Each structure stands twice: as C-alpha cells, then as structure tokens.
C-alpha cells in the first residue's frame, strides 16, 4: 500500500511539474513571493508525505482491498482526471493572440466554476482517505483552504 500511495503522490507531481508546464502556451508571470511560498509548501509537504509513507505509515494485510482504500483511491483518480481535463479546457479557452476573460464550458465546469480546483481538492481528500494518516489529512485540508479561496476569487 505504501508504494501505491507514494506512486499516486509522485504521479500527480510528475504531471504537475513535467507535463503540465510543457502544455501551457502562454501564462501570466507569477510574483516571486508567491513562487517562493508555493515552493516551500511543496518541498515541506513532499517531505512530510514521503517520510510518512516510507517510514511511519503501516497498513494491515489486505489494505488495498479495504473499502477506505478503494473509495479513497477512486476519489484520487476521479479528482486527478477532473483536474487534468479542466486544465485542458482552460488551456484551450482562447485562440492564439486572443486576450480577455472567457467563461469555461464543458466537463465539470458545467457544475462548478472552479472545476480544476474542485478536482484537486477531491484528489487530495481521496488520497487522505486511502492513506488514513494525519499527514495526508493535513495536506487535504491545506489544499481545501488554499484552493477554495482561489476558486472564490476566480468565481467573482
């Protein structure tokens, strides 16, 4: 279970750090302070989740068949799919050279204005349920607080 869960964490960040940046056509500059805070959060959280799953978290035999793991893993998987699909919709909102705000349509954007944020929140709460560790719950709660405030700003 530890390897599967660590793999989920690493898969998300491999996509976010390696694939996602290559897909972005144009982006807004990020303020240095925001970048530094995000970097510190990711480094600390990566250490915390990695250390937890490689050293402290122990699971009973059959954990991969436990309803908490299965439900959490499905939440993680669906959340990641929503996040990736929503990012795809956002990247393709404007044609090259177009500027201005556009309202995204399709996918989960039909139900929630911050579908990308919703997907990531679902992803990490699913991960927390699959892990059942205080570290993963802390990460899910931080994600909820940070991304829900960003989602509220984007909605306005």
pLDDT average per 10 residues of sequence, the chain (156 residues): 98 93 79 93 96 97 98 98 96 81 92 96 98 98 95 88
What does the pLDDT read at residue 155?
Answer: 86
Residue in this structure with the two tokens 């600390």, named with its chain if needed: 44
Question: Could you report the per-residue pLDDT of 85-94, keeping only the tens digit for each?
Answer: 999 999 888 8
Q: Which pLDDT score, from 0 to 100, does residue 96 have? A: 77
| Pair 120, 147: CB distance under 8 Å | yes
For 131, the domain range is 1-155
pLDDT score for 13: 94
The structure's pTM equals: 0.92
Q: Both ends of the chain: CA-CA distance in Å?
A: 41
Q: How many domains is the chain partitioned into structurally?
A: 1
């Amino acid at each position: 279970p530890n390897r599967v869960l660590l793999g989920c964490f690493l898969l998300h960040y491999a996509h976010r750090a390696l694939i996602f940046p290559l897909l972005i056509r144009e982006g807004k500059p990020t303020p240095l302070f925001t970048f530094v805070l995000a970097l510190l959060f990711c480094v600390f959280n990566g250490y915390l989740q990695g250390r937890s799953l490689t050293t402290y978290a122990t699971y009973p035999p059959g954990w991969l068949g436990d309803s908490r793991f299965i439900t959490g893993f499905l939440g993680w998987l669906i959340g990641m799919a929503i996040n990736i699909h929503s990012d795809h919709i956002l990247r393709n909102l404007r044609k090259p050279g177009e500027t201005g705000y556009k309202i995204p349509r399709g996918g989960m954007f039909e139900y929630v204005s911050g579908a990308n944020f919703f997907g990531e929140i679902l992803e990490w709460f699913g991960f927390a349920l699959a892990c059942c560790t205080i570290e993963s719950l802390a990460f899910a709660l931080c994600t909820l607080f940070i991304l829900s405030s960003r989602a509220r700003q984007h909605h306005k």
